Structure 1
Amino acid sequence: MTALTGLRVIEIGTLIAAPFAARLLAEFGAEVIKIESMGSGDPLRKWRKLHEGTSLWWYLQSRNKQSLALNLKSAEGIDIIKQLVESADVLIENLRPGALEKLGLGWDVLHALNPKLTLVRISGYGQTGPYRDRPGFGAIGEAMGGIRYTTGSPDSPPARVGVSLGDSLASMHAVIGALMSVLRVKTGQGDGQIVDVSLVESVFNVMESLVPEYAMLGHVRERTGGALPGIAPSNTYPTQDDAFVVIAGNSDPIFNRLMRAIGRPDLAEREDLRHNDGRAPQSQMLDDAISAWTRSHSIEQVLAELEQAEVPAGRIYSVADIVADPHYQAREMILDTTLPGGAEVKMPGIVPKLSDTPGKVNWQGPQLGQHTDAVLAELGLDAATIERLKAAGVVQ
């Protein structure tokens, strides 16, 4: 048994935010029924690198899910969703605010069908406020949530992280909210509720002390490259062999050990550098001292000596480094899987690791409508009715 065995989830979402949230639930045993549009299904099926016409990302993002291909413009299609809602615990969607209502699936309808249902709504700006009707993607959430402004070098335009961070942060907030609501229901504390997740707010929520620093001190945090502003020393440093190492020597005892490891006991013993509030204004001097040492050593020498000194440090990994790393392998974070047709491919493992009810991968992302017959049969529809719905263009 996995942690979420018995939890039924309906996903009405495309691309990233809602589907990633549903994937996290599916990996821990939730039964996830993904509603896809007929014809082409979720656009993610064609995003990034493809294998035999299907996105490799799709196989990862939709693992353990059932695909029900449905015509949401038909009354019978909407009726099928209503039947699913009656036995569901969670419905996750990332449509524009108001779109669910236009389908006849507003909260008043869903709550009347199943008072215990939790409705998770992911959108660019949330379900309320003056921007609610604007279209929103994760990239816009990153821009308006504050993280783009602080990312990159001081002499360059704001940069983006190389993945869809805004969407993923929203997905994780969605899962947290969904499980809090489900816990309330399961413990008899109340009915289901709406979990309103904004892409902008999900990014903003991880921006640390950005607001109080501005509100009280007038300080606007700017781009600082690889450094961590106000915390020293913590940066990315070059090595002799043109590699880069991230060193975090920012706690007081670690700073002391780091300075001695790089042959600078004089800095370790300076009274004005004993605590972070004294080191932060002198971060450039400390970075110069550390860089002088790292530049005279290979990446392997740097890592070995800092490990010996118990100083947190790590090389900057490419995906090739990740896949080859023995620690990733020992932690089962690189899984060997098989795609439809027999092709073998490696995929990421499951996070977090639960000791008694760990997650597992049962299958990769399904073909469009692969589970339509099974889901409808479970609702009590006989074979003749299912064939009629197919012929009428209600399901695929």
Structure 2
Amino acid sequence: MTVDTTKPTGPLADLRVIEMGQLLAGPFCGQLLGDLGAEVIKLESPGTGDPMRQWGREQAQGRSLWWPVVARNKKSVTCNLREAEGQRLARELIEGADIVIENFRPGTMERWGLDFERLRATNPGLIMVRVTGYGQTGPYAPRAGYGSIGEAMGGIRYITGDPGHPPARTGISLGDSLAAVFATIGTLAAVHHRHRTGRGQLVDAAIYEAVLAMMESLLPEWAITGYQRERTGPVLPNVAPSNVYPTADDDMILIAANQDTVFGRLTKAMGRPELATDERYATHTARGARMAELDALIAEWTAGLSTEALLEQLHAAGVPGGRIYTARDMFADPHFAAREAIVRLTHPEFGELPMHNVFPKLSETPGAVRHVGPELGGHNAEVYGDLLGLTPEQQSELAARGII
């Protein structure tokens, strides 16, 4: 799918968002809102901009390949928020906005005269989204908090990885991304509330709480039974079979057949239907207790089949199974293509630039990736001129003084 248009589309096309955060936790929330059509105006420091412009894998020109994704569908304006005149410009922009997003340390916006009470005094319908490590209240609120610390505090780090090694990272910035997703959910709920009441509100999203929200029954398991979840590698504790198995061509395939009926289908595909009624494996509890020996039986079968032959048998039998995908696999997969899961846009330096599309898909008002992350200050003239009415001369004077 190839898209390269700046035309607003999507269910949030009537909303204006001022994004004042940087790095990932706040900006990913802005990306999600922009994907669904909101006009997102990103304020960045003159000269340097968001550090995300330099983060991630770089292409030959020294340009980040992450920035075009996290800043897609946004407008970039430069604004020095550490100066009184920059703060005044921000307040003027926020007066005409529906939502403001920030992920600075608590107290920063207040020092800049951009606290929620002051902002909503002139914009009662304003929704202010604050994404931080620990939230806006509590004894830890003033602390600096990155996503990795939130992942550790929220519980995901301790249970991730192999039991014989220290806690592992998942390979993506999970804490920041989860906080942004929950911030987006809160934002949409606040928009719905404003439709009914006309009043805006504060959305307080903490990274550690977003991670904690994904921890299933971890808390009652400890409180009621004293059970502490531990790292288990690729398996689900006491749930079998659900693991990674080898193939004859040195590949690894995930098979998840832990439900009784599905396990029965797997045993037939293996040519071992008697295993489904064997008292050692006939029930969920029995299979969980004998996970290692059951996995060994399945691995012996899978190791004798090529990856394609194994997957064909699993799919035909109605048994969930699949490859562990890399980016290369995604580009080659017909399902990704049929679902338009990858969208291709035009980048001024990279040429055709692929990235993931907008999810979920809406039947009546779908979102879209309209353009890649913009150049620093690329929308100064449009935003300061059209929205605030500043003349080119006024903008040049502000730029000369380092305000924009």
Compute the TM-score of the two structures, normalised by the length of structure 1. Answer: 0.96
- What is the alpha-carbon distance in structure 1 between the residues aligned to residue 220 and residue 283 of structure 2? 22
Indicate the residue corresponding to 1:369 in structure 2: 377
For residue 98 of structure 1, what is the amino acid of its counterpart? G
Task: Work out whether 1:106 is the aligned partner of 2:124.
Answer: no
- What is the alpha-carbon distance in structure 2 between the residues aligned to residue 98 and residue 255 of structure 1? 55
Indicate the residue corresponding to 1:119 in structure 2: 128
Task: Work out whether 1:154 is the aligned partner of 2:163.
Answer: yes
1:210 offset after TM fit, Å?
0.8
Higher relative contact order (CA 8 A, sep 6+): 2
- What is the alpha-carbon distance in structure 2 between the residues aligned to residue 237 and residue 147 of structure 1? 25
Indicate the residue corresponding to 2:75 in structure 1: 66
The equivalent position to 2:96 in structure 1, one of 83, 87, 92, is 87
1:356 offset after TM fit, Å?
1.3
The equivalent position to 2:52 in structure 1, one of 41, 44, 52, is 44
Task: Work out whether 1:201 is the aligned partner of 2:209.
Answer: yes
Give the gaps of 5 or more residues in structure 1.
Answer: none
SS of 1:38's equivalent?
Answer: coil
- What is the alpha-carbon distance in structure 1 between the residues aligned to residue 263 and residue 149 of structure 2? 38
The equivalent position to 2:276 in structure 1, one of 268, 271, 277, is 268
Contact 2:280/2:290 (<8 A) preserved: no
1:282 offset after TM fit, Å?
2.1
Give the gaps of 5 or more residues in structure 2.
Answer: 1-8
Indicate the residue corresponding to 1:384 in structure 2: 393
- What is the alpha-carbon distance in structure 1 between the residues aligned to residue 353 and residue 88 of structure 2? 39
Deviations 1:301-354 (CA, angstroms, capped at 9, x unpaired) = 111100000111111111111111111111111222211146222222111111
- What is the alpha-carbon distance in structure 2 between the residues aligned to residue 201 and residue 265 of structure 1? 45
The equivalent position to 2:30 in structure 1, one of 9, 16, 22, is 22
Contact 1:143/1:149 (<8 A) preserved: yes
- What is the alpha-carbon distance in structure 2 between the residues aligned to residue 275 and residue 21 of structure 1? 44
The equivalent position to 1:310 in structure 2, one of 318, 326, 337, is 318
Indicate the residue corresponding to 2:4 in structure 1: none
1:271 offset after TM fit, Å?
5.0
Aligned length: 394
Task: Work out whether 1:136 is the aligned partner of 2:178.
Answer: no
- What is the alpha-carbon distance in structure 2 between the residues aligned to residue 146 and residue 268 of structure 1? 36
Indicate the residue corresponding to 2:5 in structure 1: none
Task: Work out whether 1:239 is the aligned partner of 2:247.
Answer: yes
Indicate the residue corresponding to 1:185 in structure 2: 194
- What is the alpha-carbon distance in structure 2 between the residues aligned to residue 71 and residue 222 of structure 1? 46
For residue 74 of structure 1, what is the amino acid of its counterpart? E
- Shift of the 258–342 alpha-carbon distance from structure 1 to 2, 3 Å rule, reads closer
1:41 offset after TM fit, Å?
0.3
SS of 2:237's equivalent?
Answer: coil
- What is the alpha-carbon distance in structure 1 between the residues aligned to residue 338 and residue 290 of structure 2? 40
For residue 181 of structure 1, what is the amino acid of its counterpart? A
